[in-house]
């Protein structure tokens, strides 16, 4: 975590979700919820994640319960900003969704099936929910199934981390195999055990561009916080936009940052 910059000069703080505000696929804890709510009273806040809107509901919104004034400061960009939600009064409304065509999604699913064969990929014996999930604007592979953290809670998170450490090479091989079958799409290793496929040019830099365009905030007035700003990480694209970025190792460091801002706001 770098030294905090002058938060008073920023008009919006943009967070990654998994590994930044929450543990992977888990809800925000009570302490983070309180800090996040306080920050919303003072600043506009956006969240960009590869996760679908369902994940935002479970991980972020379920516990948040903010006032209409604070909610008006919250902007949500699921599936790498291919969807955008904001509050109008008490209602959360979808502003846009860049859906892929049925044919595009079919092609991506088929590419995964072929890639499994290409590299002799063996699925784990026990998986939880769908392995290749069609999220409309994105198709996502999850090695242990989409629902593992929902079903097993912390144990699911532990298993995901363990899987990543044990099978990192295989996951990278699978990402490359899928990418070589889908040159016209963006294929990225994201989270601990996931591979996201979107249309080309859809990444967190796209999200930054959407915020600039739709909220009328310049890049110099944005601040991004994420746990995967290293090369190859799913926050890395943010760096090339010129937006100021702060790398954190996890939610605890994010809490420290928010506390330091709340002291001066």
Compare residues 23 and 227 and give the one whose CB is closer to Mg ion.
227
Contact between 196 and Mg ion per CB under 5 A: no
- According to CB under 5 A, which residues from 67 to 86 bind Mg ion? none
Please say which residue, 144 or 247, places its beta carbon nearer to Mg ion. Answer: 247
Q: Which stretch binds Mg ion (CB under 5 A): 9-17, 34-42, 116-124, 143-151?
A: 9-17
36: Cβ–Cβ under 8 A, 6 or more apart, which residues? 21, 28, 45, 64, 258
Distance, in Å, from the CA atom of 112 to the CA atom of 171, rounded to the nearest integer, reads 12
Q: Which of 98, 186, 227, 244 binds Mg ion (CB under 5 A)?
A: 227
Instruction: Name the closest residue to Mg ion (Cβ).
Output: 19
- Residues numbered 18-57 forming contacts with Mg ion, rule: CB under 5 A: 18-19
Residue with tokens 């991506």: 108
User: How many residues interact with Mg ion (rule CB under 5 A)?
Assistant: 5
Tokens standing for 59? Answer: 């991980």
Contact of 260 with 242, CB cutoff 8 Å = no
The smaller minimum CB distance to Mg ion, of residues 25 and 86, is found at 25
Shortest separation between residue 16's beta carbon and Mg ion, angstroms? 4
The C-alpha angle with vertex 96 and arms to 95 and 97, in degrees rounded to 5, equals 145
At residue 101's C-alpha, the angle toward residues 97 and 107, to 5°, is: 130
Of 8-16, 55-63, 118-126, 210-218, which segment contacts Mg ion by CB under 5 A? Answer: 8-16
| 179 in Cβ contact with 187 (< 8 Å) | yes
Task: Considering only CA atoms, give the Rg of the chain.
Answer: 18
* Residue with smaller CB distance to Mg ion, 108 or 228: 228
Q: From the DSSP assignment, how many helices (H) and strands (E) are in the chain?
A: 11, 11
Q: Pick the closer one to Mg ion by CB: 19 or 78.
A: 19
By beta-carbon proximity to Mg ion, the closer residue of 7 and 228 is 228
Is position 251 an interface residue for Mg ion (rule: CB under 5 A)?
no
* Residue of the chain from 10, 16, 139, 248 that contacts Mg ion (CB under 5 A): 16
Instruction: Give the closest residue to 213 by CA, choosing from 75, 38, 121.
Output: 75
Positions touching Mg ion (CB under 5 A) are: 16, 18-19, 227-228
């Amino acid at each position: 975590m770098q030294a905090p910059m002058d938060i008073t000069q920023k008009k919006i703080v943009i967070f990654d979700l998994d590994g930044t505000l929450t543990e992977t696929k888990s809800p925000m804890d009570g302490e983070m919820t309180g800090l996040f709510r306080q920050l919303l009273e003072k600043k506009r806040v956006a969240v960009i994640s590869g996760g679908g809107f369902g994940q935002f509901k479970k991980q972020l919104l379920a516990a948040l319960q903010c006032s209409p004034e604070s909610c008006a400061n919250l902007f949500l960009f699921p599936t790498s900003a291919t969807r955008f939600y904001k509050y109008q009064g008490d209602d959360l409304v979808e502003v846009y969704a860049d859906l892929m065509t049925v044919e595009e999604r079919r092609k991506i699913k088929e590419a995964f099936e072929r890639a499994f064969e290409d590299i002799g990929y063996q699925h784990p014996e026990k998986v939880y929910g769908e392995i290749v999930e069609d999220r409309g604007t994105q198709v996502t592979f999850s090695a242990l199934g989409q629902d593992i953290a929902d079903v097993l809670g912390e144990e699911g998170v532990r298993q995901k981390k363990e899987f990543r450490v044990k099978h990192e090479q295989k996951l990278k091989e699978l990402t490359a195999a899928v990418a070589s079958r889908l040159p016209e799409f963006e294929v990225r290793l994201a989270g601990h055990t996931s591979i996201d496929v979107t249309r080309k040019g859809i990444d967190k830099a796209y999200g930054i561009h959407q915020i600039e365009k739709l909220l009328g905030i310049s890049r110099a007035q944005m601040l991004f916080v994420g746990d995967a700003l290293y090369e190859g990480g799913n926050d890395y694209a943010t760096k090339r936009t010129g937006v100021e970025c702060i790398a954190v190792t996890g939610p605890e460091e994010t809490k420290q940052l928010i506390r330091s801002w709340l002291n001066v706001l």
